[in-house]
Amino acid sequence: MSLRKALVALTLPLALAACGLSPMYAGGGSGETARAVSAVEVSSIEGKSGWLVRNALVDRLGAGRVESPRYRLDVRLDERLQGLGLVGNDAITRERRILRARYQLVDTANGKILLDATATADAGLDVVQNEYAVIAAEQTALENLSHEIADQIVTRVAVRLRARS
């Protein structure tokens, strides 16, 4: 059995190399994808959720390290809070917070839209009798959703820019 494991361990790297897979961020911060992603400027986004999403995007993209950005990321958010669980007195016992982002990656050199997509994330929360606990849960959910949306956007942007180069 150990001979078999050794053969698999030796042939697996060869099989992966043959399939054409390569790390997206090869070369670390000085790699081609990392440089392209850091050349993305994030436009301002309306509202509190917009502020959270924009800050998360700037952190993940490394935006601002380039003096003249090559790309611009425009994002519009749609945010909803739905009451789900109802008890006998029509009180809501569960909420669902949904954050949806429509975004476009624009080449600033020619104004061409390179990517037009959406990202969606949602979270469920319990509604308890303590109002402050509900407000804190809603705020935490919004913060987590903004990070999740930013992760989705950055992944799609990085894939698009890598394919372009």
Q: What is the mean pLDDT of residues 93-119?
A: 93
pLDDT of the residue at 151: 96
Residue 124 host element (H or E): strand 113-126
Second-level CATH architecture of 33-164: 2-Layer Sandwich (3.30)
**HSE of 147 in the Cβ direction (CA atoms, 13 Å)?**
6
Residue 118 host element (H or E): strand 113-126
Residue 84 vs residue 121, higher pLDDT: 121
Q: Angle of helix 47-61 relative to helix 131-164, nearest 10 degrees?
A: 40
pLDDT at 101 over 90: yes
- Which of the four pLDDT bands, split at 50, 70 and 90, describes residue 105? very high
pLDDT at 145 over 80: yes
* pLDDT tens string 38-59: 889 999 999 999 999 999 999 9
Its pTM stands at 0.79
Single out the residue of 94, 146, 153, 103 nearest to residue 122, CA to CA.
146
CB neighbour class for 66 (10 Å; exposed up to 12, middle 13-18, buried from 19)? middle
- Which of the four pLDDT bands, split at 50, 70 and 90, describes residue 103? very high
- Which of the four pLDDT bands, split at 50, 70 and 90, describes residue 102? very high
What's the mean pLDDT when you consider all of the chain?
A: 84
Sequence-ordered list of residues with C-beta below 8 angstroms from that of 118, at least 6 positions apart, any chain: 100, 101, 102, 103
**Pairwise CA distance, residues 60 & 45, whole Å:** 16
Domain locations in the chain as residue ranges: 33-164
Q: What is the mean pLDDT of residues 80-107?
A: 85
* pLDDT tens string 146-158: 999 999 999 999 9
